[in-house]
């Protein structure tokens, strides 16, 4: 089985209507370290994906946005409603702000771009396998430009339950500031002289404490709580 100290990925489902891209993503999953992912299903539409899931619930779903019978966002939302434990990651050619936000709000834990080369996508999939939640740095930078216009919480009552300005450690706040600048985990590791695995640990801790599941949501929440200026 394809496993490490992170999440189990067998079986994995690729929802993509382009056969070449299906094959590329399947090859990347199969080639991941620690034995790769062996049980990989493919679907070319939302209907095919739902039929596949009815027979076998995946441990990971890679979902394209532009599908023949609708938006991948709708499938992500359906998965969140019916199988909330299945992590879904968008791998798409679309990186506009509205689509990205819709996918994250629907429940996607990551958003990757097809234009990235195989090495970059493989690193991203490895990180997701270890329990990370990744947004392509280019996409993150575009989304984070919207944050200065977001309205901060008027008072503590507007903040998320359980969160407060002293929730995060000093190191976690430092990492969060770098996340807000659009840096990837690898770039943050280089900037702080820490390992990428350590940064991923801090990132997961930040998500847990702020009750979010994405980099973008973490930055929005932190700004609303006054943790970022």
Same domain for 50 and 91?
yes
Domain that holds residue 132: 12-138
Same domain for 113 and 174?
no
Enumerate long-range contacts of 162-169, CB under 8 Å, 24 or more apart.
162/211, 163/209, 163/210, 163/211, 163/221, 163/225, 164/225, 165/225, 165/226, 165/227, 167/209, 167/210, 167/225, 167/227, 168/206, 168/209, 168/210, 168/222, 168/227
Residue whose C-alpha is closest to residue 221's, from 167, 229, 108, 211: 211
User: Could you tell me if residue 219 is inside a domain?
Assistant: yes
The pLDDT of residue 157 is 38
Same domain for 168 and 119?
no
Q: What is the CATH number of the domain that holds 180?
A: 1.10.10.10
Same domain for 164 and 122?
no
Instruction: Give how many domains the chain has, as a whole number.
Output: 2
User: Could you tell me if residue 145 is inside a domain?
Assistant: no
Same domain for 180 and 133?
no
- Give the pair of three-digit tokens for residue 135: 């947004």
The pLDDT of residue 153 is 40
- Give the pair of three-digit tokens for residue 124: 């991203």
Same domain for 123 and 170?
no
Residue 116: which residues within 8 A CB-CB, separation 6 or more? 124, 136
- CA gap 89, 109 in Å, rounded: 6
The pLDDT of residue 124 is 84
Same domain for 128 and 172?
no
Q: What is the CATH number of the domain that holds 56?
A: 3.40.50.2300
Same domain for 112 and 219?
no
Same domain for 181 and 94?
no
The pLDDT of residue 33 is 64
The pLDDT of residue 7 is 63
Asked if residue 108 lies in contact with residue 88, where contact means CB atoms within 8 angstroms, the answer is yes
User: Could you tell me if residue 192 is inside a domain?
Assistant: yes
User: Could you tell me if residue 4 is inside a domain?
Assistant: no
Q: Which of these three, 108, 138, 168, is where a domain ends?
A: 138
Q: What is the pLDDT along the chain (229 residues), one digit of tens a residue?
A: 444 345 678 899 999 999 999 999 999 999 886 667 889 999 999 999 999 999 999 999 999 999 999 999 999 999 999 998 898 999 998 877 788 888 888 888 888 988 888 888 888 888 877 776 677 777 777 666 665 444 444 343 344 444 454 478 888 888 888 888 877 788 888 888 888 888 888 888 888 888 777 777 777 777 777 777 6
User: Could you tell me if residue 3 is inside a domain?
Assistant: no
- Residue 78 phi/psi, 5-degree rounding, is -65, -45
């Amino acid at each position: 089985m394809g496993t490490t100290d992170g999440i189990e990925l067998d079986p994995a489902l690729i929802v993509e209507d382009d056969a070449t891209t299906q094959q590329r993503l399947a090859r990347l999953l199969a080639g991941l370290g620690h034995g790769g992912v062996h049980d990989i299903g493919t679907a070319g539409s939302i209907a095919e994906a739902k039929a596949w899931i009815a027979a076998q619930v995946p441990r990971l779903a890679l979902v394209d946005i532009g599908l023949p019978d609708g938006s991948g966002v709708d499938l992500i939302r359906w998965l969140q409603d019916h199988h909330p434990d299945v992590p879904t990651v968008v791998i798409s050619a679309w990186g506009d702000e509205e689509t990205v936000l819709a996918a994250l709000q629907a429940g996607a834990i990551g958003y990757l771009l097809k234009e990235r080369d195989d090495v970059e996508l493989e690193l991203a999939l490895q990180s997701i396998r270890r329990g990370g939640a990744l947004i392509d740095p280019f996409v993150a930078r575009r989304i984070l430009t919207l944050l200065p216009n977001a309205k901060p919480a008027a008072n503590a009552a507007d903040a998320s339950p359980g969160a407060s300005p002293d929730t995060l450690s000093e190191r976690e706040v430092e990492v969060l500031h770098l996340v807000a600048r659009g840096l990837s985990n690898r770039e943050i590791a280089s900037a702080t002289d820490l390992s990428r695995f350590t940064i991923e640990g801090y990132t997961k801790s930040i998500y847990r404490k702020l009750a979010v599941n994405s980099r973008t949501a973490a930055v929005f929440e932190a700004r609303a709580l006054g943790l970022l200026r």
